[in-house]
Amino acid sequence: MGELESTDKYRFCNHHHELGDEHEVVDFGDGEFVANKAAIPLLKALNEAGLKTRTHHYTGEGGAFVAILLDDIHVEIKTVNEVDADRTKYNGKKELLLMWNKKTK
């Protein structure tokens, strides 16, 4: 893929270049934004579950990120210790725990 031209056309949703074949304008109920097509299933699921996303980058290869707004979300970074399970493969690993109540319209 070549370099895409810069544009102000999508500034309303924090996107800074023309759309390529790997982009699509979507709206999951909080306004239109430009999404990487490969990320649409993840972004749709997060937003429908009540976790609002602000920005992302995901192409299916290389570096990726997703930013989730933390309004009314409690966040903990914990060390896993599954004392009530037979499995131990996750014990000692770090996890990000997000807790929220999904708001209904």
Write out the chain's pLDDT in tens, 105 residues. Answer: 567 888 888 788 887 878 889 999 999 988 889 999 999 999 999 999 999 999 999 988 889 999 999 999 999 999 999 999 999 999 999 999 999 998 776
Q: Which pair of structure tokens corresponds to residue 71?
A: 């309004």
37 CB-near residues (< 8 Å, 6+ apart): 22, 23, 24
d(CA 69, CA 39): 17
Indicate the pTM of the whole model: 0.81
